[in-house]
Amino acid sequence: MMTPHLLQRLVLLFSLLTAPTVWSAQTIPPPPPLAAKSFVLMDATTGDVLVNQLGDERLAPASLTKLMTAYIATLKIKRGELHEKDMVTISEKAWRMAGSKMFVQVGSQVSVNDLFHGIIIQSGNDASVALAEHIAGSEEAFASLMNAEAQRLGMRNSHFANATGWPAPDHYSTAHDMAILARAIINADPAHYAIYAQKYFLWNGIQQPNRNLLLWRNDGVDGLKTGHTEEAGYCLVASAKKNDQRLIAAVFGTESEAARATETGKLLGYGFLFFDSKTFYKKGSVLTQAPVWKGAARTVKAGVNTDVAVSMPRGDAAQFSTQVVLNPTVIAPLKLGAVIGKVEVRQGGKVVKSVDLVALEAVEQGGFFRRTWDSIRLFFKGLFG
């Protein structure tokens, strides 16, 4: 016979099993163990690192290097310094490259657009060298561009000696740095990023598949790049989007092509299950009208020049709030983008993120009487608090 006490315990157990799971920072389980040398999981919206397992250890990046090669090409195209229809003459050095190839012919001319596809989808060493030489004159000069861009992006543990990832003593990167680079690629140009999702590319009568197996296996995966050498093992940087959430996983040093896809898939799955991100304000949003002293206008539109977003345990969004904190006095003239305060994201009473509040328009200095009157007002404001 079931006792009242036993019945009460069963009801409690049933309620726990059927209730929606809400994880807090204290209850998120540790990430799954991966058969890899190092790995990082990053929230693409915020740039926050959600998982870091030896993610700053310098390792051979193999063909993940080509992410930087392609990124520099994208930047050049955006600046108008390179055009997709430009024709590139294939050098003997590019043609002779071993390893994965696009199979371009020495002396032939190939468009920048085709070479870009050959780098991303076919992982062509020949295409990478050809495009590097076209952009910088030589692969060595192009490597200097790569290192300068890595420094600008904050890739503190990366150094590139070539455009392909061909083994070299001073050629290294990290899972963390590659996640930073992947985020830059995704944000730089959505049109070019779409190429990373293409499963096949046909060139010179040869159709080759994208080596990123997750494009076939995992819903939401739409990039980025694989890599493999004997020293590096099998590596993968992948990104996936579900609803409004995008994650980036960088995995170094697995044992096989299948393993790198499986292990990276595990990491992405963990992230989508237990983490979320919330964008409080979009770049350019007007948050307030800030008072201006000594200006031609009495107020200025104030907002943010970057998205204000925070990564959090799934289900914790209600714990977060925002607060706009203006500087005590904002005095004209003001340039567009001038910092006039802070936007704080708080969890309870703790500030978890702070972003500059900026002027979204310029304000010229006011006339003589406006400046004089405001100077008097500011004097007494300071005197009496």
Domain boundary among 257, 275, 293: 275
Helix (H) or strand (E) holding 278: strand 275-281
At 253-298, the pLDDT tens digits run: 999 999 999 999 999 999 999 999 999 999 999 999 999 999 999 9
| Co-location of 76 and 115 in the same domain | yes
Return the CATH number at 173: 3.40.710.10
Which residues are 347's β-sheet partners? 320, 350
Q: Could you say which of 38, 63, 173, 311 is catalytic?
A: 63
- The catalytically annotated residue of 123, 128, 173, 311 is 123
Give 18's pLDDT tier (boundaries 50, 70, 90). very low
Closest Cα to residue 211, out of 194, 229, 223?
A: 223
Q: Do 54 and 156 have their domain in common?
A: yes
| Residue (of 342, 357, 360) closest to 284 by Cα position | 360
Token code pair at residue 92: 């003997």
Is residue 29 in some structural domain?
A: no
Angle at 264 between CA 262 and CA 267, to 5 degrees: 110
Are 140 and 252 in a shared domain?
Answer: yes
158 annotated active-site: no
Phi/psi of residue 279, nearest 5 degrees: -95, 115
266 carries an active-site annotation? no
What are the tens digits of pLDDT across the range 309-360?
999 999 898 899 999 999 999 999 999 999 999 999 999 889 999 999 999 9
Q: Is residue 20 in a domain?
A: no
**Residue finishing a domain among 251, 275, 299:** 275
Q: What is the pLDDT of residue 377?
A: 87
Of 371, 310, 322, 342, nearest to 43 (Cα)? 310
Tokens linked to 179: 């996640």
Last residue of a domain, one of 248, 275, 302: 275
Residue (of 310, 301, 308) closest to 358 by Cα position? 301
Mean pLDDT of 174-179: 98
Judged by DSSP in three states, 336 sits in: coil
Residue 267 lies in a domain: yes
Q: Which of 66, 76, 225, 266 is catalytic?
A: 66
Q: Which domain holds residue 377?
A: 282-384
Residues 173 and 158 in one domain: yes
| Residue 91 bears catalytic tag | no
pLDDT-based confidence at residue 382 (cuts at 50, 70, 90)? confident
Residue 306 shares a structural domain with residue 234: no
Instruction: Establish whether the linkage from the previous residue to 209 is cis, with ω within 30° of 0.
Output: no
Q: Which pTM value belongs to this model?
A: 0.87
Mean pLDDT, rounded, for 361-370: 91
